[in-house]
Structure 1
């Protein structure tokens, strides 16, 4: 499997897990469907969306598990621009306190794996991921 294939599979699995965990959040279910469709048609689009709207601004916050930084970013970003990936960030503001520690840990793991795969695909050196 290619790295891009691993990245898109991970992204689909992440959104499906979120949709199962927070079934009342319809935006996550719609995002999961959109990402599954994009995976078939244009998998690089998923990478580019993640890189532009998550990785660039949040990789340090994800590494540090900084919920507050992600909340602030999500509130600002959602007002100006919405895309298929944003529901994964807005859950930090709307649902994080109600999620179990196991679920929170699983979300961090998904995000960290997505960041590492994004770095590999974009040729980014991150000393904290060696």
Structure 2
């Protein structure tokens, strides 16, 4: 089904954005299902839902700029341990007043991932690979 007046490229971008946002929410739900009592994860998901409603492109934009552009090769290689052990201080230093809050959020969200079994960590990495591929194709 084609929309009159919308180019094929725009339709593809719209589908990539829709799929990215659906996959991102599915990924959030998957992590929450493993750690249902983790209030930080639920809070983060609520924030993502809010961001998605107010600006549907914001999550894919942030993912592309701060994940894909920096870590594409590591993600494609499927190196889960890199992200679990990485020090993210330098990644957030340019976010000025948001630096400490961003680092705090990364560490709060990373802790449950460290506690997952290896099968779930591999699944999480597959989500990251899919999300990164969608974001890359959306912006390129």
Q: Distance in 1 between matches of 2:56 and 2:106?
A: 17
Contact 2:78 2:126 in 1 (8 A): no
Contact 1:31 1:87 in 2 (8 A): no
Out of 89, 99, 104, the position equivalent to 2:116 is 99
Q: 1:15 to 1:26 in 2, by over 3 A?
A: same
Q: Which moved more, 1:17-26 or 1:73-82?
A: 73-82
* Residue of structure 2 equivalent to 1:86: 106
Q: Greater RCO between the two (CA within 8 Å, min separation 6)?
A: 2
Residues 1-130 of structure 1 aligned to structure 2 (within 5 Å): 2-70=15-83, 71-74=85-88, 76-77=90-91, 80=99, 82=102, 86=106, 90-91=109-110, 94-123=111-140
TM-score normalised by L of structure 2: 0.70
RMSD: 2.6
Q: 1:24 to 1:102 in 2, by over 3 A?
A: same
Bigger radius of gyration? 2
User: Which runs of 5 or more residues in structure 1 are unaligned?
Assistant: 124-130
1:96 shift after superposition: 4.2
- Equivalent pairs, count: 119
Q: Distance in 2 between matches of 1:105 and 1:111?
A: 10
User: Which runs of 5 or more residues in structure 2 are unaligned?
Assistant: 1-13, 94-98
